Amino acid sequence: MTTSPVDVWAGPLTTPDHAAYMARQTPVLTAQHMSVVYQVTPPVEAVRDVSLVLNRGEILGLAGESGCGKTTLAYAINRLLKPPALLTSGEATLHDHSGEDIDITALSGDHLRAFRWDKISMVFQGAMNALNPVISVRAQLFDVFTTHRPDMGRAEKEQAAKDLLTLVGVDPDRLGSFAHELSGGMRQRVMIAMALALRPQVMIMDEPTTALDVVVQRGILREIMRLRERFNFAVIFITHDLPLLLEISDRIAVMREGRIVEVNTAKNIFEHPQHAYTKKLLSSFPSLLGETGGFVRTGDEDLNPSSPDTDDPMGGIR
């Protein structure tokens, strides 16, 4: 009698000093054993048994190729999934600065509506096109305050809106502008201002610099770093651009086909990658300095991961 092979998952690869790093941190968000299935024919397992910890005030990069489940995981954490996507297992918990642990997966109705944007906000993929084209920037910022801060008067909302635009480097006179009157970089900054409006503890940024030229991208990234230092919010920064994450992140989680295959500090991911897929990502970028100095890797490294199945260059991930 023969038995079919069992998909045994030992969890993401890392190094011992990562555990020591985590022991010194304070978690603000914990996701445990989250799985998401798209109920189509045949069903697609987009996220498979993912556990993740985000520490207070840190930038956690989530890297991986398109379609690996990064955005689906973010939507699952923030309870934004819509059919045919279904969270089949797992839970996400926000460790509020008040000391309360909030089970995000148990929230519903008005409680969920009050939680979003106040505790966790999100800058969506394609955020440049996320602004409502038929109402002004002022009206969209006012809508956030009206929903979550109903006691604010009009003068308070006006001043808060001006302060937010100033904070992200946009002229407050642009409050009366519509989306089509703003450049791509300005629209992105307005979306970041909206995400910051209620001073959330966690901000999820899904490809926030996509479709921006490199100069504008650099300005947006500097703004994010500056604001993070000022307000001490934590960031999950989603992108397929691993070199970018190496520059801005405290830690990086590498995702492939619905699973996190490696998680570590940015320094360790760069200097001591463990998984074959991480090594391939690092070696996929061309040298900027010629033969004497590659940007990240030369591409000649051993692609076998530190896993029992050394004959499989993908470490058993399919």
> Over the stretch 241-273, which tens digit does the pLDDT of each residue have?
888 899 999 999 999 999 999 999 999 999 999
**Per-residue pLDDT, 292:** 41
**Per-residue pLDDT, 295:** 46
Q: Where are the beta strands (DSSP E) in the chain?
A: 27-38, 44-55, 59-63, 85-95, 101-103, 120-123, 202-206, 234-239, 251-256, 259-265
- The angle, 0 to 180 degrees and rounded to 10, between the axes of the packed helices 137-148 and 154-167 is 120
**Per-residue pLDDT, 219:** 84
> Over the stretch 25-75, which tens digit does the pLDDT of each residue have?
999 999 999 999 999 999 999 999 999 999 999 999 999 998 999 999 999
CB contact at 8 A, 201 and 56: yes
**Per-residue pLDDT, 130:** 82
Measured distance CA(257)–CA(73) in Å, rounded: 12
113: left (phi over 0), alpha (psi -120 to 50) or beta: alpha
Mean pLDDT lowest among 72-81, 185-194, 230-239, 260-269: 185-194
99: left (phi over 0), alpha (psi -120 to 50) or beta: left
More reliable by pLDDT, 290 or 139 = 139
Closest CA to 236 of 50, 60, 69, 63: 60
CA distances from 106 to 85, 93, 96, 223, 278 (A): 17, 9, 15, 34, 34
pTM of the model: 0.86
Six token digits for residue 19: 């555990």
